[in-house]
Structure 1
Amino acid sequence: MAVVIRLRREGKKGRPQYRIVVADKRCPTNGKYIEEVGFYDPMVEAPQGYRLKLQRVSYWLKQGAKPTETVDQIIKKVSKLETKDN
């Protein structure tokens, strides 16, 4: 089973919000998913617009899950913000 970490669109028309989910690659984008690991709101500034469970993301990456390009950028931004806070 090929597993990916990708965005799942939610929200209203013109006001997108995304859930970051771990899903089987064969499932539709807004279909079933294995686990929700965070969210992304592009309409809000960086620190409040992202929330990510970094421990779960790292677990899934170790299991072989491949993030999409956008999710990979979000992971890098969030991990950079986490290191600045600590």
Structure 2
Amino acid sequence: MVKIRLSRGGAKGRPFYHVVVTDQRSKRDGRSIENLGFYNPTAAGKDKRLELNVARVQEWVAKGAQLSDKVAALVKEAGRQQAA
């Protein structure tokens, strides 16, 4: 099954996540099919906290991809950002 989930990057104590489409059997930071954006939980000042290609996420979900819990919350947040 294909999942849309977070892949961790960044340094110790400074996490940075990529939102990726991947096979559920692959490792957390392993091979991914497509990169859909990023999430920076420690963003401060003018740094972007979230950038996500919502249209591509919806296309993958229409094909049967499953969202992780955190990614589902981030998609909802990104939708609110685009509406404002």
CA-CA distance at 1:44 after TM superposition: 1.4
1:17 is matched with which residue? Answer: 16
CA-CA distance at 1:48 after TM superposition: 2.0
Q: Secondary structure at the match of 1:57?
A: helix
- TM-score under structure 2 normalisation? 0.93
Map residues 1-86 of structure 1 onto 2, 5 A cutoff: 2-44=1-43, 48-84=48-84
% identical equivalent positions:
37
- In the alignment of these two chains, the number of paired residues is 82
Q: Which runs of 4+ in 1 moved over 4 A?
A: none
- TM-score under structure 1 normalisation? 0.91
**CA separation in 2, counterparts of 1:80 and 1:60?**
20
**CA separation in 2, counterparts of 1:54 and 1:69?**
16
Structure number with the higher helix fraction is 1
The RMSD of aligned alpha carbons is 1.2
Gaps of 5+ in 2: none
